[in-house]
Amino acid sequence: MQRVRLSSQQAPVHKLGDSQITLSPKFRLAVIQSSLLNPSPDLELSHGGEPLIPGLPDDVALNCLLRLPVQSHKASKAVCKRWHLLLGSKERFFTRRKELGFKDPWLFVFAYHKCTEKIQWQVLDLTNFSWHTIPAMPCREKVCPHGFRCVSTPRDGTLFVCGGTVSDADCPLDLVLKYEMQKNRWTVVNQMISARSFFASGVIDGMIYVAGGNSTDLFELDSAEVLDPVEGTWHPIARMGTNMASYDAAVLNGKLLVTEGWLWPFYVSPRGQVYDPRTNNWESMAVGLREGWTGSSVVIYGHLFVVSELERMKLKVYDADTDKWEAIEGPPLPEQICKPFAVNACDCRIYVVGRNLHVAEGHISRVSRKGTCEKKWCFGVRWNVVDSPDCFSDLTPSSSQVLFA
């Protein structure tokens, strides 16, 4: 029998995670084999044996595949394993788009079923004009769709849904949800200081402002607060000075404009407030601005436009110098777009989503007005309608946002 001599000197013992720990050749081989047998999706997508598209370099092929409409991913991912890795996950698809610098617009529509009032998000690709869905929001089932307020930081591809109300109890919520397009998922962030519904909201310099609305005892609020999305914390700001629920709101020239809109029987002129974050002060809105604000608003070319719910649903623009609204040249909203509708804008285009999620895309043009010494603009609109699928026939829009990804 062969004898083995044991040394009385023990080797130093290293704790797990110690920088000096090493693996024996046997374990090193096992790790290498494991990584080869189970490579990461990104590694396999980049270094697969088969080309993404035969005859094209992978970088060119990847650029082409990242332009495919999301609606076609279900069929396209069956082509091969590498296509499945790229197109089988919205997270990976939009992550690669971000890495390659894609910044195309997508119209997010917050809608509800007119019979069941079940809420959902539908997304329109404004390049290919095809629809897809995103995961459902993590909130109560019985909520009033119009009580929420939706804002976004478009260039970050991030959407925020704030407040709301429980439909069977008229109980406002302090809920705040965040959707990130790159991750394709919702997260619950810090709740608002006050629960509120039917309130004003807007984004100024990346900060999210909310003001007014209905409180838990169904009285109107005058409080306001601001969220820093980076810190994730809410802070109170100056009170509005009047208790008011919001019909519509807009951000113009770095200020938050809030209007309660006309209320039946139209005996009293609507109230309106303007908040300046630089001074943390509220002031009353100009009379012409609040009395002529008769629809949903967007800001284009630094001017406030409204799709009027009256006046044959014509588009009009506000002139701050004269405190008057002027109808812009062009036809009224196309007949396919029925109330209620949601409005948003991207660059020089306005998107109006009507019942059944038909979308009117309006191209806003401007020319310098002749015969004036000051630089005045004359605006016009040209409409194009994007018909929705038949399966949207029972959907009604509540809000819309444009994100880039």
The string of pLDDT tens digits covering residues 17-60 is: 333 333 333 333 333 333 323 444 554 555 556 899 999 999 99
- 177 and 145 inside one domain: yes
Instruction: Give a yes or no: residue 14 inside a domain.
Output: no
- 266 and 233 inside one domain: yes
- 361 and 336 inside one domain: yes
Q: In the prediction, which pLDDT does 6 show?
A: 36
pLDDT digit string, tens, across residues 289-322: 999 999 999 999 999 999 988 766 789 999 999 9
The CATH number of the domain where 341 resides is what?
2.120.10.80
Report the chain's mean pLDDT, rounded to a whole number: 86
Q: What angle do CA 118, 250, 143 make, to 5 degrees?
A: 15
Domain count, the chain: 2
Q: How far apart are CA 200 and CA 209, in angstroms?
A: 8
Instruction: Give a yes or no: residue 31 inside a domain.
Output: no
- 83 and 160 inside one domain: no
pLDDT digit string, tens, across residues 241-293: 999 999 999 999 999 999 998 766 667 789 999 999 999 999 999 999 999 99
- 158 and 258 inside one domain: yes
Is the pLDDT at 16 greater than 70? The verdict is: no
Neighbours of 40 (CB within 10 A): 10
Nearest Cα to 242, choosing from 301, 290, 304? 290
- 366 and 297 inside one domain: yes
Q: In the prediction, which pLDDT does 48 show?
A: 53
End-to-end Cα, the chain, rounded Å: 73
Q: What angle do CA 118, 123, 128 make, to 5 degrees?
A: 150
Instruction: Give a yes or no: residue 18 inside a domain.
Output: no
Is the pLDDT at 357 greater than 80? The verdict is: yes
Q: How far apart are CA 213 and CA 198, in angstroms?
A: 5
Domain C-terminal end among 33, 68, 100: 100
pTM of the model: 0.86
Nearest Cα to 139, choosing from 109, 177, 113, 172? 177
Instruction: Give a yes or no: residue 356 inside a domain.
Output: yes
Domain C-terminal end among 100, 122, 156: 100
157 in Cβ contact with 404 (< 8 Å) = yes
Instruction: Give a yes or no: residue 226 inside a domain.
Output: yes
Residue 10 pLDDT class (50, 70, 90 cuts): very low
Q: How far apart are CA 99 and CA 106, in angstroms?
A: 18
- 83 and 189 inside one domain: no
- Return the amino acid letter for 317: V
Domain C-terminal end among 50, 68, 100: 100
Neighbours of 195 (CB within 10 A): 19
> CA dihedral defined by 257, 203, 234, 144, rounded to 10 degrees?
80
Instruction: Give a yes or no: residue 188 inside a domain.
Output: yes
Please name the residue that has the structure tokens 């300046």.
276
What is the domain extent for residue 73?
Answer: 58-100
Is the pLDDT at 69 greater than 70? The verdict is: yes
26 CB-near residues (< 8 Å, 6+ apart): none
Instruction: Give a yes or no: residue 12 inside a domain.
Output: no
Q: In the prediction, which pLDDT does 164 show?
A: 93
Residue 369 pLDDT class (50, 70, 90 cuts): confident
- 224 and 82 inside one domain: no
Instruction: Give a yes or no: residue 234 inside a domain.
Output: yes
- 87 and 156 inside one domain: no
- 66 and 167 inside one domain: no
What token pair was written down for 293? 């604000």
- 148 and 96 inside one domain: no
- 63 and 115 inside one domain: no
